[in-house]
Amino acid sequence: MTGLLRSAWRAPSAVPPPPRRVWRDWVLLALVAVLAVVEGSLRTDLQQPLVSVLVLLAVLPTVLWRRTRPLVMLVIVMVPLGLLLPDSTLYTSLFVMVMVYALFRWGSGRDLVIGSVILLASLGLTFVRGEGLDDLIGGFALLLTMVLLGIAFRYRAGSRQRRLDRIRMLEREHLARDLHDTVAHHVSAIAIRAQAGLAVATRDPRAAEDALGVIEAEAAKTLSELRSMVRVLRQGDTAELAPSPRLGDIEQLAGTRPGGVAVVVKVTGDDGSIPPPVAAAVFRLAQESVTNALRHARQVTRVDVLVQADAGKLTLSVTNDGEVAASPTPGFGIIGMMERAALLGGTCQAGPAPGGGWVVTAVLPRVGWAA
């Protein structure tokens, strides 16, 4: 039992971090304020209507900080409303349930433990005052509902964040493989050439011998560090020694898929000088975009893949003529593509195409990893 409480006490705050303030907070603030004034003016059973309204308006701004300081804001609200004015409570003071939700949605483990004790004490005080068993049961049911809602949304957001982190990790692993399969090859060639230079250095000036020694040492060190980094990123997976895809490999995506969907690929401006990590990233983005179109678009008949390379950047556009339901939150496949593009200093966007259908557009700098 002690270990459970200790674990609960040390639990971190919810992830991802909450927004500090959004427009809905101001709407809630104004709405409760207006309702409190109207209620204080119309109700005749309040012992101190003016004081009740003024106290509620005084603590109402706590809704603006309920995400960043949930426990403190809950205490600020409950002390005057629950202790100082127990017999002159406005119905609009139920906004305190919003503070309870915020506590269990955003609070740390310590906040949850302390807040739970405060809430239970408040319920006990209600029973001591003799307000009736019905009021106690109703209050407990309402309180439990808000607590469960807060915990449910907390778990849902945490689960989504963990999935996002996994997507980012997988994209970094893929990029690590691409970097290893390309950079490691060139670094190995540098090391071999440096060794060959040392073998004939006796016929060259001493400065050349020293330079070749430095090249060999730095190349061997870079190769060792690169392999160590990739082993860590792959988390024990064996290395894939297949060459990284090139820009021209995107043409392999062309063809007719089962169901009659035609995939048309056009690559322009490829002069063979595209850095391998950038070329591999464009291939992966095109591959994922085509896969998403075939998997998620309805009534799709054609997917167009266009890659344009110029002196400064590469632009990828994948358009399909199917019907895709727009979502305010991008899927994990799109998020992974955005992550891959961002790692190379580029951008990736997806959304409805102007003429109908769905389009994915990515722009990557030609120098790629230099950013």
pLDDT 10s digits, 88-121: 577 888 888 899 999 998 888 888 889 888 888 8
**C-beta separation of 348 from 362 below 8 A:** yes
Which of 88, 150, 96, 103 shows the shortest CA–CA distance to 123?
96
Q: How many CB atoms lie within 10 A of CB 352?
A: 12
CA distance 335 to 337: 5
CA distance 301 to 267: 21
pLDDT in tens, the chain (371 residues): 566 667 667 777 777 778 778 888 899 999 999 998 998 888 887 778 888 888 889 899 999 998 888 999 988 888 777 666 655 577 888 888 899 999 998 888 888 889 888 888 887 777 776 666 777 787 788 888 988 998 898 888 888 877 777 776 776 666 666 665 556 556 655 665 676 666 666 676 665 666 667 677 667 666 665 665 555 555 544 444 455 677 888 888 888 887 788 999 999 887 677 877 788 888 888 988 888 888 777 888 999 999 998 888 899 999 998 876 655 556 667 777 887 888 788 899 988 888 788 899 999 988 644 33
Give the per-residue pLDDT at 361: 93
Which of 273, 244, 248 shows the shortest CA–CA distance to 183?
244
Give the per-residue pLDDT at 109: 83
CA distance 238 to 256: 34
Give the per-residue pLDDT at 246: 78
Total residues found in the chain within this entry: 371
Q: Name the burial class of residue 49, with classes exposed (0-12), middle (13-18) and buried (19+) by CB atoms within 10 angstroms of its CB.
A: middle
Give the per-residue pLDDT at 264: 93
CA distance 29 to 334: 36
Give the per-residue pLDDT at 29: 92
- SS3 call for 341: helix
Give the per-residue pLDDT at 265: 93
Q: Cα dihedral sign for 334, 336, 338, 340?
A: negative
Give the per-residue pLDDT at 306: 93
Q: Which residues of 17-38 are buried (b: 16+ CB within 10 A; e: fewer)?
A: ebeeeeeebeebbeebbeebee
> Given the DSSP bridges, would you call strands 261-268 and 255-257 parallel, antiparallel or unpaired?
antiparallel
Give the per-residue pLDDT at 17: 78
Give the per-residue pLDDT at 266: 92
Q: Name the burial class of residue 292, with classes exposed (0-12), middle (13-18) and buried (19+) by CB atoms within 10 angstroms of its CB.
A: buried
**C-beta separation of 250 from 265 below 8 A:** yes
Which of 339, 346, 249, 253 shows the shortest CA–CA distance to 292?
253
Global pTM reads 0.50
Q: Which segments of the chain are extended strands (E)? A: 255-257, 261-268, 302-309, 313-320, 347-352, 358-365
Please give the full DSSP string across 203-265, using - where no structure is assigned.
Answer: GS-HHHHHHHHHHHHHHHHHHHHHHHHHHHHHTTPPPP-SPPP-GGGGGGG-EEETTTEEEEE
